[in-house]
């Protein structure tokens, strides 16, 4: 019996070429594992492709609900956004994929896990930190870092290698964008995007929606309901979170929402440029933030903003399975105890426009906020407050004036 290796398999040219490469260089039996986190029709024909390429077995594991409930929703509750723009679509999916790879490795008594991430990207870090945290005994194989045995540097090289090993599949040598898709988003890198001076070719690039210019001239109203920071209903219809995201993707894509062009700082030290489509996620994050505006007190909101930024860094860097992530998430969950209510919005040409927010736990008091004097607030009290609040400023200014007078 040969040792087994688990290959994180997408069905694309890279991971298909890795199958014969593993058998040739390691003499392993290759067990392919495709983790379904909402890629859609990208999974069509995978089993036949894996078998034709020499795999002993193929698992297709649908973890979409787990991905949404246990990884996406905590990031929504945290308002976790990396470098003010990136909604962590790829980052959030990597830990659940690593976790399932490890589970199948244990089931198959495999000795190693192999991934097709390049040596320049973030995903190698995310996959491998996840595997190390969950299965430190397993060997990790990253072909793109194996300079002695992985000689392929282009799609043409990979197609030729496959054909030399009896694998004749309809892969195209035409270069295209490098994409990663799941239920939350799709990312695009490569081609004209490699030069930040170039405008993205949106007509060629977009998959989930249209640009704001091509969105309908009529806006569309929607409502989202939350319970303890978790989305539970769309337009009054109760459904699970993954189905809400699916519906929001269609609505957001239709109205040109959630298209972000960003130059980001990768974990490995370089800057990279990409375009992200996150139509449903953008709406969901905005709705959640609007609800928190009503409910969280000033100090908690301010502190939670810092926690959200740190949480985003942790997820981006692949440190999901760490004590710090668990501790921060515990804080975040505690802040969501009263984040319950309904958010109404208008979607219009790339914009999400407030249309009213309600909650039984709202801290907004119309009598306090209005310009009329209510029972809880006396305008004259502000004078004493300002005197105390600005006392240090006044003392400093008086001291400076005294020193300037003495030095004349």
Residues forming the active site: 14, 94, 123, 178
Instruction: Quote the CA–CA distance of 319 and 100 in Å, as a whole number.
Output: 16
Residue 200 · residue 193 · CB < 8 Å? yes
Give whole-number Cα distances, 297 to 74, 88, 293, 304, 305, in Å.
20, 27, 8, 10, 12
Residue 276, strand partner residues: 187, 260
Residue 358 · residue 342 · CB < 8 Å? yes
Q: Per the structure block, which two tokens stand in for 5?
A: 């290796």
Give whole-number Cα distances, 256 to 210, 241, 349, 350, in Å.
5, 22, 6, 5
Instruction: Quote the CA–CA distance of 347 and 339 in Å, as a whole number.
Output: 23
Half-sphere exposure of 135 (CA within 13 A, CB side): 23
According to DSSP, the β-strands at 4-8 and 112-114 are parallel
In sequence order, the 6+-apart residues with CB closer than 8 A to the CB of 202 are 211, 259
Instruction: Quote the CA–CA distance of 88 and 72 in Å, as a whole number.
Output: 9
Instruction: Quote the CA–CA distance of 132 and 82 in Å, as a whole number.
Output: 24
Residue 90 · residue 330 · CB < 8 Å? no
Residue 66 · residue 75 · CB < 8 Å? no
Q: Per the structure block, which two tokens stand in for 170?
A: 């309809």
Instruction: Quote the CA–CA distance of 231 and 310 in Å, as a whole number.
Output: 23
Instruction: Quote the CA–CA distance of 228 and 73 in Å, as a whole number.
Output: 11
């Amino acid at each position: 019996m040969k040792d087994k290796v688990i290959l994180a398999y997408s069905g694309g040219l890279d991971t298909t070429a890795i199958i014969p490469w593993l058998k040739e260089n390691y003499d392993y039996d290759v067990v392919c594992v495709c983790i379904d986190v909402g890629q859609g029709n990208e999974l069509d024909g995978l089993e036949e492709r894996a078998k034709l390429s020499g795999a002993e077995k193929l698992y297709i594991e649908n973890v979409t609900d787990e991905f949404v409930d246990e990884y996406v929703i905590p990031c929504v509750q945290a308002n976790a956004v990396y470098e003010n723009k990136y909604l962590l679509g790829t980052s959030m999916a990597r830990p659940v994929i690593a976790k399932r790879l490890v589970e199948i490795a244990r089931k198959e008594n495999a000795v190693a896990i192999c991934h097709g991430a390049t040596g320049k990207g973030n995903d190698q870090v995310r996959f491998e930190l996840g595997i190390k945290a969950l299965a430190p005994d397993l060997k990790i194989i990253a072909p793109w870092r194996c300079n002695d045995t992985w000689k392929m540097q282009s799609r043409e090289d990979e197609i030729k290698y496959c054909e030399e090993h009896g694998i004749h599949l309809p892969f195209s040598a035409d270069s295209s964008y490098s994409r990663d898709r799941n239920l939350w988003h799709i990312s695009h890198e490569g081609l004209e995007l490699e030069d930040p001076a170039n405008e993205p070719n949106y007509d060629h690039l977009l998959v989930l929606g249209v640009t704001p210019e091509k969105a309908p001239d009529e806006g569309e109203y929607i409502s989202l309901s939350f319970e303890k920071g978790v989305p539970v209903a769309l337009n009054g219809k109760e459904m699970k979170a993954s189905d809400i995201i699916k519906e929001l993707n269609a609505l957001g894509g239709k109205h040109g929402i959630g298209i972000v062009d960003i130059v980001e700082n990768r974990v490995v030290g370089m800057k990279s440029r990409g375009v992200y489509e996150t139509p449903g996620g953008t709406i969901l994050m905005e709705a959640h933030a609007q609800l928190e505006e009503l409910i969280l007190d000033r100090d908690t909101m301010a502190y939670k903003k810092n926690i959200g930024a740190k949480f985003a860094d942790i997820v981006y860097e692949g440190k999901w399975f760490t004590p710090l992530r668990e501790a921060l998430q515990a804080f975040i969950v505690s802040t969501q105890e009263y984040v319950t209510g309904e958010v109404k919005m208008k979607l219009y040409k790339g914009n999400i426009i407030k249309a009213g927010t309600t909650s039984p736990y709202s801290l907004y008091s119309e009598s306090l906020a209005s310009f009329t004097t209510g029972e809880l607030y006396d305008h004259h009290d502000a004078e004493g407050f300002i005197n105390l609040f600005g006392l240090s400023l006044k003392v400093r200014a008086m001291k400076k004036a005294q020193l300037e007078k003495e030095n004349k």
